[in-house]
Every structure is written in C-alpha cells, then in structure tokens.
Amino acid sequence: MQRDVPLKVWGKGIEGQLVTVSIADQQVQAVVENGQWELILEPLPIHNSDNPLTMRIASGEEEIILDNILVGDVYLAGGQSNMLMPLRLMDTAAEDLQQAEYPEIRLYDVPCRHYEDADLFVGGNGELGIWEIKDKTSWRECTPENVKNFSAIGYYFAKDIYESQNIPIGIINCNWGGKSAACWIDEKVMAEHSELYQLYEEFAEKVSKVDEAEYAAKWQRYVEQITTYIEENGTKIPLEPFGKYYSYRPCGVFHTMLKPIAPFGLKGVLWYQGESDDFQHHIYEKMLTVMIANWRALFEDPKLPFFIVQLPFVNRSGDQFKWGFIRQAQFNVTQKLDNTYLAVGIDAGGDGDIHPTDKKDISLRLVLLARKYLYNEDIVADSPVVSDVQFEGKKAIIIFDQVNGKLINKGDRVQGFMLCGEDGVYKDAEARIVDWNQVEVWCDEIESPFGVRYGFTNFCTCTLYNDSGLPVTPFNYELN
C-alpha cells in the first residue's frame, strides 16, 4: 500500500451491516449502503518485509484476513502492448529472470476484461502469445515465476527504484494491447469534449446496427476459441467479433480495468501508449490531457504524477509523419500539465518491429525522472529540448535548453533533421553542432527555410544526445 497518504479501503457487503477494518493500531468502521462500503485509513509509514502488516476485514460472522502487507510506493503501469510486453520476451530475459527474486517488490495484474463483471478474464495480448484465463487476481511477490509474464518496463522500473531508494515497491499492471487512449476515459468526461465524444457516439451507432442474436453466437464461439487456444497452446487466436463487448470500444477498459482499482493509493503512473492513435493524431493531445485529468479525479489526487514514454522510431508504411505528431502531442502535454514528465524514446525502437525487445533504456529514463522529481535527487533526468529557432539565410540555428553539459553526436554525422521552404515540403537536411547548446541545419535544395523538424518521421536515425546519454527531444517548428 502507498505510504504517507490517507488510504481508501472498499468492497461489497450485505445491506445495512457494519464493516470493521483493522490494521496496525487503527480500527475503522463503515456501513454497507446499496451493497457497497468504503472507509479511509490514516496514513501509514513504510513497512518492509521485516515488519509486514495484517489487515482484518470483519462483517457479521464473516472475516477476511490479508497478511504479509508491505507499505511503500505504488506505481501503475498503463498503456498498450509495449507496456504490457512481458519480461520473458526481452533480449536479456534469461539473465533477468535468474536475478528476479525481490520479496519487497510486489506485482498486481489487472485482468483484461471485455465487460464489467465478466466471468472470463483474458490476460495479455494474443499478438505477444500470452493469452491466459484468469479467474482471480492478487498481489504476488516478485519471483522469476511470478514476473516472467509481467510488464518488462514495470519490472525494470520497480527493481531500479527499489535498489536506489531501499523501500518496498508495488507495481499495478493495468494495460491492454492495441487500445486507444479513448478506451481509458469515462464517457461522462468525454461528453464534455465534443471532438472526443464523437468517437463514443460513432461506436454506439455502429453497435446499434449489429444483430444481437448473431453477435451473441459469434461471441460464444470467440470465447470457446480462446479457451481452445489456451488449452492447446498454439491454436490460431480468433479475431474478436465487433459488438457491445468489443474491447477496443471508447471508454470500455476505463470501466472494466481502471475503475475497479480506484482510488487505490498511488505514487505515480507510467504511461506508454499512442501507437494505436496515430490515425487520429490531430486530437491526441486533447485526448491525453483529458485522460490524465480523468484519472487524477478518479484516484482523488489532482497532482498524481504521470511519466509518459514518448514513442520511439518504427519502420512502418503509410504517412511517414504520423508518429511524429503523436510525439509532439506527448511533449506538448508535459509542457502544459504540472507533474507530467517525458521519457524520450526516439532511439529505442525496433527496425521492423513495433514491439522492441529491449526496454531497459526506456525504463532507465523513467527511473531517472522519478528519482529527480519524486525522490528529490540532484541528477540529470531530462532530455534537451528546443528553446529557440533562428532562420539566417539558408540555415536554421537551433538553440537547446536542458542540455546539462553539452550536446554530443553519436554518429559520423548529425542525423534526424529535416527542413522545408514555404511550400511545406520537408527534405532531409545536413546539420552540425556549433556550440555546447546549438546546432546549425541546412539543405542545399532549400533557399529560404520556413520550418525545421527533428526526429519527426516514423522511422528516423537521431544522433544527438547530452553528455549524460539522454537523447534530444524530437520537435516540429514552423514560422507560422
């Protein structure tokens, strides 16, 4: 449980009955109303494995006892498949799993549920080969067996924070592959923003045209095929039928995955998502902004920190700038919202794979940000960002902030820049470092530059870093 904050405990019960919760030297009571109860515990200090707690929840003749409870810092790992991607699929999995014995790191998997109160819980992403039926879920100690199918980023982050801070760490794994940020927003909140609510209304209209009897039959076959896949370990994973339980529906997993775990006390949120929203990048900044506000309200913490992974490069066909606009939106959100931080991942992609199998660099950058902003360490954690652009003749002079030392080039030449003229057509550009925080950019084909981009295409090689090894943040700058 999260240290040093009031802690909500909640559950279901028999109408009108008294529920008593006891932990440490506290005893708090609540009455069941409309089948639900909720109470608040006073803040608890750190309790490690040498001094675990026991919680007793009693009502009438029933009693639930939860033991081996630790108190430290709890993080939620949210997003889509790159956050979900398990430790066992990493390049260094064999070595990592051998060392993954941490009794003071606790893991919690939120089941991927298609609808509320579903009997069938499906965990994981079929594309990654980790489908499993979960009929229950609980906190588990970090062991090689327990962590092998757990989020690699979540594990690496927890391990590094635990080793640097020496306090118990909990990670809540709440993610599902392929899901838009719109899936993680309450429709009541979405209704306040017409450009977002349109997504919800469009889905509702499509579902209204689906024959319910036909859909029910397709859904039953889908469930049976998933079960067969799990039992036979290799059957082709079925395509999910479109209908009211469609897991990609706007606002869906907000209710089936996120809402059931709120308002559990959190230290912060790790967020790695955006790939599935590249087709609607023009509203992604709004979507992410609304989602963060929604989550902060849900967890009753208006300052809840968000650590956002900026999308890496990917070798993908189609519009070459889609991921660039998502990266820009992610950056913009962290500039406009307090307690939001950006882990630049432009260099952490896979050449032809949307699921890179090395997540250590991404995790380390999240760790550095947490250590600086949550644990008040005097360390370099932020990537350099553009602070000014000056156009002089055929050249653009880029001035960076947050350099913390000097800019360095990890390559035989500086790569990643593009220039455009007033026609708006971007072309690859040459560049060189001219001062500790300045880069000069030019393109022989462009006489009078109008705009400059860095790390803005889906697939790009970016070679600029600060001398702490953090990559320069991608950007898009135009005169208008």
Residues pairing with 407 in the sheet: 466
pLDDT-derived band at 134, boundaries 50, 70, 90: low
Q: According to the model, what pLDDT value does residue 67 have?
A: 96
pLDDT for the residue numbered 243? 87
Pair type for strands 340-343 and 306-309? parallel
Give the pLDDT of residue 57: 98
Maximum distance among all alpha carbons in the chain? 83
pTM: 0.94
Report residue 248 as tokens: 């990609």
Instruction: Please give the pLDDT value at position 122.
Output: 53
Distance CA 142, CA 49 (A): 13
Cβ neighbours, 10 Å, residue 283: 18
Amino acid identity of residue 5, one-letter, is: V
- Determine the pLDDT at residue 318: 67
Q: State how far the Cα of 453 lies from the Cα of 185, in Å rounded to an integer.
A: 31
Summarize pLDDT for 396-452 with one digit per residue, the tens.
Answer: 999 999 999 999 999 999 999 999 999 999 999 999 999 999 999 999 999 999 999
Query: What percent of the chain has a predicted confidence (pLDDT) above 90?
Result: 78
What's domain 73-201+244-373's superfamily in CATH?
A: SGNH hydrolase (3.40.50.1110)
Domain boundaries, the chain: 7-69, 73-201+244-373, 385-478
Cα dihedral 283, 284, 290, 291 sign = positive
Calculate helix-pair angle for 284-298, 194-208, nearest 10 degrees.
90
Contact 467, 406 (CB under 8 A): yes
Distance, in Å, from the CA atom of 277 to the CA atom of 182, rounded to the nearest integer, reads: 9
CA distance from start to end of the chain = 49
Mapping DSSP to helix (H, G, I), strand (E, B) and coil, where does residue 479 land?
Answer: coil
Residue 245 reports pLDDT greater than 60: yes
Residue 16 token pair: 């009108």
Residue 315, pLDDT score = 74
Question: pLDDT tens across 141-182, in order?
Answer: 999 999 998 999 999 999 999 999 999 999 999 999 889 999
* Beta strands at 306-309 and 268-272: parallel, antiparallel or unpaired: parallel
Question: What architecture (CATH level 2) is domain 385-478?
Answer: Sandwich (2.60)
* Of 49, 165, 171, residue with least CA distance to 104: 49
